[in-house]
A and B are shown apart, each in its own frame.
Chain A
């Protein structure tokens, strides 16, 4: 698991989602730490494209072998796209959480909220306490 690297500019929540800017969009997923804690991801329940979420809203559910966990919107925004590949291959979240294992992309997102998230390095320090 130690070979996964968070890209530059990755911002995180205390509930272990990340947000990463991709041109005009904001890519959302769960962190490598969350993946380690969950173990094998076997199902991801995704929202509808076009759905609008406020920061902190449940936008989906991620299920590991052991349990179902809610996914919380790190910032307010509108779902521009969802990762359709997760339906057939939920293990992408385990294998490559920051790239192939992304979950949704937001458009028209709240920039101030994004800037208020924890930079990845601070997040790691926070969880490693």
Chain B
């Protein structure tokens, strides 16, 4: 064994994956399931039935104290003071230039010791950067910050039957959190934080639970889910699902050199927020239309070719940007991508563009994001 292998981490569900016949791959320092069977089958299972994901590599940071709201207000362009107990908000952690250190979901849980209590779910690859950044900004704020990522696992149950399956496990629908909400609860005997959030474009839950309890909960969900045709789902389908829902992937579609405005995330920003936050001047300028270097677009291929990360985007036969994510949209039945166009262009829905694939320009069209929206 070489040293790289020894440094690869395993989630508490590693043995479960191996028992289920998963193809395991290294991913961001973790040994994770890529697929258990066909990625396309797994994708469509989540769209039509239900799928269970191990996302324990993701980070959980808890933040509490008298100044918890004010401190978070200084870190993200969203309005955390408007976040009610039990609710969640999609956020970006910004550097001083408005570039994204990470994207994350902030959940406001029940107060603890009369102080606001927040859970931050962050990307696996960014746990250390996020934590160091947050600590570096703490200064005089009266807050306590706990990185609990090593002690906690997270599994995601996604798909139209997710709520039925959780009900079968004892948490009835009226007690389940609503969309973009979270609560402390028991699923059977497992004490969990259950969140109605996800990364697939479907209804579903992300469940935070201790490492010691997660294997039993995982097996119970798969067992109760049999009648709903549940399957375990690997990172392969996680990627195709999030792309079809036009959700960005940190490190691929977004980074420290990209602002949320450039990344098409202006909808998530609190435009009238009074408090100062990192990068605010740049963000306000960009919201006003100045200082943008690029703009995110979504596109579909007009032939059968497949766009991939880093391919060049052409407009009128001139290089105009780069693909950041691309691939098959298994449920929609065509190929799609996300990418950035230089700010000098004003791309519009319906515009024709071209993608340079192995030296040939292939026709594509800018389309509305998300590519896929679930039916109600």
Contacts and interface: CB of A to CB of B under 8 A. Distances in A.
Our verdict on whether A and B bind, yes or no, reads yes
B51 interface: no
Nearest to B327: A65
A87 B304 contact: yes
Contacts of A66: 34, 39, 236
B318 interface: no
A61 B304 CA distance: 13
Interface residues of A, number: 12
Contacts of B236: 39, 65-66
Residues of B contacting A: mostly: mixed
Interface string B28-43: 0000001100111000
A61 B358 CA distance: 10
Contacts of A6: none
A42 interface: yes
A65 B304 contact: no
Interface in B2-42: 23, 34-35, 38-40
Interface string A65-87: 11110000000000000000001
A43 B362 CA distance: 14
B91 interface: no
B305 interface: yes
Interface string A32-64: 000000011011010000000000000001010
Interface string A10-44: 00000000000000000000000000000110110
Contacts of A67: 308
Contacts of B341: none
Contacts of A87: 304
Contacts of A63: 306
Nearest to A94: B38
A66 B306 CA distance: 11
B328 interface: yes
Given A65-B40, A65-B236, A39 B306 contact: no
B308 A42 contact: no
B93 to A, nearest CB: 29
B39 A39 contact: yes
B39 A40 contact: yes
A87 B303 CA distance: 11
Interface size class of B (residues with CB under 8 A): 10 to 19
B311 to A, nearest CB: 10
A45 B308 CA distance: 15
B39 A43 contact: no
A42 B306 contact: yes
A43 B308 contact: no
Nearest to B25: A66
B324 interface: no
Nearest to B360: A45
A65 B240 contact: yes
A101 to B, nearest CB: 15
B9 to A, nearest CB: 22
Contact of A43 (B23, B35, B240, B305): B305
Contacts of A39: 23, 35, 38-39, 236
A37 B293 CA distance: 39
Contact of B39 (A45, A61, A65): A65
A65 B37 CA distance: 13
A87 B304 CA distance: 8
A65 B328 contact: yes
Contacts of B327: 65
A67 B306 CA distance: 9
B90 to A, nearest CB: 26
A66 B236 CA distance: 7
Interface string B272-299: 0000000000000000000000000000
22 contacts: A39-B23, A39-B35, A39-B38, A39-B39, A39-B236, A42-B40, A42-B328, A43-B304, A43-B305, A45-B305, A63-B306, A65-B39, A65-B40, A65-B236, A65-B240, A65-B327, A65-B328, A66-B39, A66-B236, A67-B308, A68-B308, A68-B358
- A-B pairs with lowest CB-CB distance, top 8: A65-B39, A40-B40, A42-B328, A63-B306, A40-B38, A43-B306, A40-B39, A39-B39
Given A39-B236, A68-B306, 16 more contacts: A40-B38, A40-B39, A40-B40, A42-B40, A42-B306, A43-B304, A43-B306, A61-B358, A65-B40, A65-B236, A65-B240, A66-B39, A66-B236, A67-B308, A68-B308, A68-B358
Interface of A: 39-40, 42-43, 45, 61, 63, 65-68, 87
